[in-house]
Every structure is written in C-alpha cells, then in structure tokens.
Structure 1
Amino acid sequence: MKTKNILALAAGLLFMANFTNGAVNQQPADDKTTKGDGFVVLELFTSEGCSSCPRADELLGNVQKQAGDKPIYILAYHIDYWDHQGWRDIFSSPENTKRQYWYADKLNAQVYTPQVIVNGKTEFVGSDEAALTNALRNTLQGSSASTLKLTGKPEAGKMAITYQTSGSKNVELMIAAVQKNAERQIKRGENGGRTLRHVQIVRRLQSFKLEKPANGQVNITLPKDFTAAEWEVIGFLQDKVTGEIHAADKVVNDI
C-alpha cells in the first residue's frame, strides 16, 4: 500500500506530501508551522495480532524516514493482550501493557490498539493519518521550557549515559533502548499470511529518579542483540504524576 501522506522535510521547512496515483503534490506549511522549538514524542501501542496496527506502523515508519534532524522521537510498545488471539508477538511484554494502562488513567482514555500518545498529553488512533499530521504540525511549532542533552557509549552490554537538564522539576529520566527496524512473517491470527514491518520497537524501558537534577550519570543494561548501527537510545523527562513529557533527546555517541 502506498502512503497517502508523509512528513517531508526540505530546506528547513515542514512540508506534507500528498501522493495521488504515484504523483507528489507538495504543499508548504505556513510560517506558523515552521516556527517554534517544540519537540514530539510519539508513543505507539501496537501488536502483531491486531489487523488495524500495520497501518499505524506504516505511518510512523514514514515519519521515521522523513524526520531528518527534527526533534521527533518515535517509541513503539508491543502490548501482550492480543497474544491470546492465535499469535504471540515476540516483541510484546506485560510492562508495555502496564504503561498503556498507566496512560489511560492519566488521560482518562480507553485502552486500544493502535493508540498513539503525544508528549504524554494527548492520544489518538494510531492509524489516523490526519490526526498524526496535525499532531506533528501543532507540536513542532510549540515551545518547551525544558531541555535534555544525552551522551553515552555502549560497552560490554551496558551504557553509561551522561545527562544535562534544565527547566524541569519532579520528573524522572526515562531511557528506552529502541530497535529501529524489524520484519516478521505472521502465520496466524488477524494478520496471518502477512509480512509486517515494524519501526522503533522499544525493547527495554528504564526509569531513573534524578538525584542531581541538572546533570549527572545513569547506567543502563542493553539488550543482548543491541548494535549501534541497528538500534538507538532515546531519553525523555516525564512527570510521573501527570504523564507529561517535558523534553527528549537521542543519546549521542560519546567517542
């Protein structure tokens, strides 16, 4: 299936590309869309057992490809409550399901797949292309009073991450080890017979209370199959009372 709408970045401006019969009709965003120093954390709750989920994976995969150096961070959590429908998702975990229910409580929202949470504050159906487009446009043109900078280097299955923060209080540092891409042959369940392509799979999420809020270091354990080329590490500052995410960053390799 061809995409109908992707996030395209050109000449420092935000464009939305509309594909019709293979032709591209690019519409530049207005000035308000391209201003601001906002960031976007897109958290997708998904499953290989859900027939509506591949479309959400596809949409976020296009954002992943087009994001460039924009502050867009994608995290896909595979939940486990679809595993009893004839197919077990090997990326699923009860911890991911627990996180989705935690958000449902914070946002007074339902639990379903595919569901996207934006900056811990709003949610929508992950396959809703218009909602995704609006979330990207509106959030990037916003602003943030907080900052987060992360550096680190993988070594022997672990990573010491140095952080620098400003502007946030009463937050925890969340660190996600993310597998950027995967392809799976699905043999049973609602997606039986399909080949699914996943992006930005959260394979491990760790939380740290910041004893030194402004700067310091935390240590994480990396998944056994972690490689610097095929994975990335994303961190964000989250208010554990409201769920709001105040800042985010990818770990830069500290050579």
Structure 2
Amino acid sequence: MTMIRKIALPLLLISVISVAFTADLSTTPKSTNTGFAVVELFTSEGCSSCPPADALLAEIEKETSKKPVYLLAFHVDYWDRLGWKDSFSSAKFSARQNQYANWLNLKTVYTPQAVVNGSTEFIGSDEKILRNSINTMLAKPSTDHLEISLGKTDKHNLILNYNTNQQTNGYMLAVALVTQKASNKVLKGENKGSTLSHVQIVRQFDTFQLQGKTNGSVNVQVDQSNGEISSELIAFLQNTKTGKITAASKLNTLLDNQLSNKSK
C-alpha cells in the first residue's frame, strides 16, 4: 500500500550513524562534460509498495556502478507509527521529502517516491520512468563539476574539502553518509514476516550554505549512537530555491578500525 501524506513540517532530527574513515586525501577526478544523475528514493520498511522500489534501486546500482549515477535511499519516519519502526528511518529524511514537495509544487508526499537531480519526481517503482530519467540526465551535457576529498578525520568529525567551478550563491553543499547494503526482518506492519534488503541507505544527511565560496572545507559531525558503519560519501550542489542539483561526486571511503580505536 502506498502512503500519501499531507505536507507537514516535521522536526529536523539528526539521524544516527557510527562511521570511521581513513584520513585519505584522495580527490575525486574532475568531471567531464557528460551528464550525471542523483537518484533519491523515499521509502520505508512499513510500506508494502516499497520493496519493489528498493529492488529496482538495487538493480540500478549494479548496472550503473561505473557511471556518474549517485543513489540515495532515504527511509522516512511517518510509517513508523503504523506498527513497525524502520531502524533506518529519520524525521530529517521526511523533512527533506517535504522540502521537495515545496520545490516541485506537490500537494502531497508518498512512498515510494523517486526524485532525479532535484527536478523531476515519480513513483519509485516505475522502472521505465526511472531508467528513462537516468538516461536523459546522463545524456545532458554538464560543464559544472564538484571535486571532494577528505582532510584529517577522526571518528567524530569528517573534514570534507570541496572545489567547484560554478557560482555558489544560493546553493548548498549536501553531504550524505551511506551504508551500501543492509537487511532487516520485519516483524510487524504491512511487510510482516518479510526480510527486506536495501542498498544505498542514507544514515546521515547534512547541508552547508556555501555563501559564494567555490572552494573550502566543511566539518561533518558524526553521530556515533547507531553503531552502523558507512562505506560511501556522496556530495552534491543544490539550488536552495528550486531544488535543482547541478553537480555531484562521491568517495568510496575505506574503513579504518585502528583510527576509530585511537580516537577513543
């Protein structure tokens, strides 16, 4: 069952995550003029219509591993009150979905919902539209680029360096920490008895106003209370008035238990 929800303004709660990254200064390569696609899926373990969308996202992940396609699964929290609390959910992710409703002039939000490059939305399990949207974005030339790298890092803080060639007035830098694979056995709710598998699960999401700066660094404070480890960092530039995403990049970070232990 797809949940359609009237627009609300939920509290922006900080999602929880535990992560350790190497202090690797490897920089992402400068983008070419080819296009890119940032796919955001709003989903929930409490929604019976969401597993097909989650499975489709897993297919897309396998097929686009060598392409500039950036996949993010945001687990919303408004299904939690209906019998099953999704351990990956956050009110902050629901708030982001509501922000898209404002940007895209929607009267409701729903699951599963997909948004591509912040500019188009549709039912997240619609394979034809999703594939066409990704292919369209990849074929669209883009001269903007975003380069990112990690500075000195410990288990509590990530120093993320960024550099872009585009003007950044009216733009924010969005940073997502992602767990690439996980699964849960659902004991209650619409998916009771099912073991659900997920990919590209957003565990923490932060935004930073750039105020015209085209290079610099931001400090991502990592919440340790979850116990999960993220293995990927995705960052992108987004217009704060329209929601349009103009450049994106990612780091496949390495886990470093020794760093985590030294930081205690």
TM-score by length of 2: 0.78
Match of 2:65 among 65, 68, 71: 68
Contact 1:174 1:236 in 2 (8 A): yes
Q: Distance in 2 between matches of 1:179 and 1:125?
A: 23
Higher relative contact order (CA 8 A, sep 6+): 2
Q: Distance in 1 between matches of 2:236 and 2:111?
A: 23
Runs of 4+ in 1 over 6 A off after TM superposition: none
Paired position in structure 2 for 1:77: 74
Q: Do structure 1's residue 38 and structure 2's residue 35 form an aligned pair?
A: yes
Q: Do structure 1's residue 121 and structure 2's residue 119 form an aligned pair?
A: yes
**Counterpart amino acid of 1:115?**
Q
How many residue pairs get matched? 218
Cα RMSD (Å) of the superposition?
1.9
Structure 1 gaps of 5+ residues are 1-34
Q: Structure 2 matches for 1:80-99, cutoff 5 A?
A: 80-99=77-96
1:68 positional shift: 2.2
1:235 positional shift: 0.3
Q: Do structure 1's residue 103 and structure 2's residue 100 form an aligned pair?
A: yes
Distance change in 2, residues 1:133/1:252 (3 Å): closer
SS at match of 2:183: strand
More strand by share: 1
Paired position in structure 1 for 2:258: none
SS at match of 1:204: strand
1:125 positional shift: 0.3
Deviations along 1:181-236, whole A, 9 cap, x unmatched? 11100011110000000111111111111256221111112343454xx5211100
1:45 positional shift: 0.4
Q: Distance in 2 between matches of 1:232 and 1:52?
A: 27
Paired position in structure 2 for 1:166: 165
Contact 1:150 1:252 in 2 (8 A): no
Q: Structure 2 matches for 1:164-243, cutoff 5 A?
A: 164-169=163-168, 170-211=170-211, 213-224=213-224, 225=227, 227=229, 231-243=231-243
Q: Distance in 2 between matches of 1:222 and 1:151?
A: 17
1:146 positional shift: 1.5
**Counterpart amino acid of 2:196?**
L
Distance change in 2, residues 1:61/1:156 (3 Å): same
Identity across the alignment (%): 44
Structure 2 gaps of 5+ residues are 1-31, 255-264
TM-score by length of 1: 0.81
Paired position in structure 2 for 1:5: none
Q: Distance in 1 between matches of 2:253 and 2:199?
A: 21
Distance change in 2, residues 1:36/1:133 (3 Å): farther
1:116 positional shift: 0.3
